[in-house]
Amino acid sequence: MATEIYKIKNLKLLDGQEFEVSPIKIKYLRQLMNEFESVKSANGDFEAISALSNCARICMKQYRPDIAVSAEVFEEHVDLNTIYQILDISAGIKINDKSEETVKSQAVESGSTWESLDLAKLESEVFLLGIWKDYDELEKSLSMPELMATLSISRDLNYEEKKFLAAIQGVDLDKNSNKKNAWEELKARVYSKGQASDANDIVALQGQNAKNAGFGIGLGLDYEKLS
């Protein structure tokens, strides 16, 4: 069965042209997170929407840099619904224009996905694989789902090797170490965009985590936040 690390979706500009959207690379995610502070400090929805538009324009640097050259050019090519879809797929910032919640509160609640992670530490671990010449190249190459998928397989392989060597000596590594559980909890937090507290939380079953489990949010199971 084919699996996927993240979702890719084709969206349309106002002139009918299509462009492909996927999670943004870490380079742009850092820029978006800086701009997202303006959403948090916004005085009402008008300012929040303006800041979110700037966030979406940062995402567009990856998909259509010709449209991201200025706020004026960007706004000529997209409507508000497209902006919300860009933010959802690119960075997991979910806005429902039919919700009774304010746009600002919806964005802030779903937009702090990576803030609690030690991104520098995670990047340093992946960098040791020796694939990238520097961290700038790494951040241009990987999105957060790609970074976590790479880390996941690297750690799992390393752990299985240690587990095998320990078993030869009669040691049950699973029983004598909680590192595996700590890693599973970290993955749960990332795959649920910061919403899950541990791997048993239902909102952890998203994306690749759901694929591995055989079901999950985005694979026939969804959830709705009730006020």
pLDDT in tens, the chain (227 residues): 456 677 889 999 999 999 999 999 999 999 999 999 999 999 999 999 999 999 999 999 999 999 999 999 999 999 999 999 999 999 889 998 888 899 999 998 876 556 667 788 889 989 988 899 999 999 999 998 899 888 888 887 777 777 767 777 776 666 655 555 565 666 666 555 555 555 444 445 455 455 454 444 444 444 455 44
DSSP class of residue 86 equals H
**Cα 139 to Cα 103: distance, rounded to the nearest angstrom:** 29
What is the value of pTM for the model shown?
0.70
Query: Please, which residues have CB within 8 angstroms of residue 53's CB and are 6 or more apart in sequence?
Result: 71, 74, 75, 83
pLDDT computed for residue 218 by the predictor: 42
DSSP class of residue 155 equals H
pLDDT computed for residue 46 by the predictor: 94
**Phi, psi values for residue 19, rounded to 5°:** -145, 150
pLDDT computed for residue 220 by the predictor: 41
**Cα 187 to Cα 41: distance, rounded to the nearest angstrom:** 29
**Cα 138 to Cα 145: distance, rounded to the nearest angstrom:** 13
Burial class (CB in 10 A: 0-12, 13-18, 19+), 218: middle
**Cα 167 to Cα 89: distance, rounded to the nearest angstrom:** 43
**Cα 173 to Cα 72: distance, rounded to the nearest angstrom:** 58
The domain limits of the chain are 9-110, 119-213
pLDDT computed for residue 108 by the predictor: 87
pLDDT computed for residue 68 by the predictor: 95
Nearest to 152 by CA among 177, 189, 116, 120: 189
Contact 85, 13 (CB under 8 A): no
